[in-house]
């Protein structure tokens, strides 16, 4: 059966701004398509919602947890006392390096928008960016960083040179299912004629190349 809609004539034969709402409401014939104005007061409140019905959050104040927020996948114990067990020239293989040995597991993701943010302090030793023939002041070394979700890059940034607080965040749509998130860093490769510290005597002689510490993350999934 045809349901005729209402239209209110306005000046110069234009239609009022409420026309779309009136047309929609007049054609609605089931409870599932009622507008919020037609629903009873307090029809939907927190007591009627199941846990994670609309969104879910995951967070850690220190990640990786096993290292109190310091990167662990590229750490070196053969460093001077009172020095970070960081990535050194001797252990760093170059390229993208995982911050944690184990990725972050976002279980119970129902499909929709994912927002992920990671913050940390970083240090890049620029001794290895300044070679003998590089000149003054030399080229800075950066702590690049990226976030992977199920192995696909979500966001990437160049990052800080020298030392500072760094933050990386991004969002995208993902299908329903558990997600895995990994944060990676990449140091600027050393100059070809830079000091490599290869002639120093072991042990505890390795010099810090770069380090990530005081790391934490926040993830928010929204599906309604």
Q: What is the bridge-based pairing of β-strands 143-149 and 152-157?
A: antiparallel
Residue intervals in the chain for CATH 2.60.120: 56-222
56-222 under CATH 2.40.50, yes or no: no
Retrieve residue 120's tokens: 């940390």
pLDDT of residue 54: 82
Mean pLDDT score across all residues of the chain = 79
pTM: predicted TM-score of the whole model, two decimal places: 0.72
How confident is the model over 167-196, as pLDDT tens digits?
999 999 999 999 999 999 999 887 666 655
Residue 117: partners with Cβ closer than 8 Å, 6 or more residues away: 167, 168, 169, 217, 218, 219
Helix (H) or strand (E) run with residue 21 in it: helix 19-27
Cα separation of 172 and 114, whole Å? 6
Provide the terminal-to-terminal Cα distance of the chain, rounded to the nearest Å: 33
How confident is the model over 50-92, as pLDDT tens digits?
788 788 999 999 999 888 899 988 888 877 777 788 888 788 8
Can you count the helices (H) and strands (E) in the chain?
A: 1, 10
Cα separation of 208 and 67, whole Å? 17
């Amino acid at each position: 059966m045809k349901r005729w809609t209402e239209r209110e004539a306005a000046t110069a034969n234009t239609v009022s701004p409420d026309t779309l709402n009136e047309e929609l409401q007049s054609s609605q014939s089931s409870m599932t398509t009622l507008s919020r104005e037609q629903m009873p007061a307090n029809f939907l409140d927190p007591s009627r919602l199941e846990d994670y019905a609309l969104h879910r959050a995951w967070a850690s104040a220190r990640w990786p947890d096993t290292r109190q927020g310091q990167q662990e996948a590229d750490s070196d114990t053969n460093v001077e006392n009172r020095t970070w067990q960081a990535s050194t020239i001797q252990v760093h293989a170059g390229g993208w390096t995982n911050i944690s040995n184990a990725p972050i597991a976002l279980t119970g993701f129902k499909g929709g928008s994912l927002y992920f943010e990671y913050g940390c302090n970083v240090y890049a030793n620029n001794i290895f960016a300044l070679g003998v023939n590089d000149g003054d002041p030399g080229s800075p070394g950066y702590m690049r960083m990226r976030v992977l979700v199920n192995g696909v890059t979500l966001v990437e940034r160049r990052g800080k040179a020298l030392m500072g607080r760094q933050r990386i965040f991004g969002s995208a749509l993902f299908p329903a299912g558990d997600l895995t998130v990994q944060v990676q860093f990449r140091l600027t490769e050393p100059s070809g004629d830079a000091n490599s510290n290869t002639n120093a005597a072991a042990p505890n002689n390795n010099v810090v190349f770069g380090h990530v510490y005081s790391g934490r993350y926040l993830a928010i999934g929204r599906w309604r």
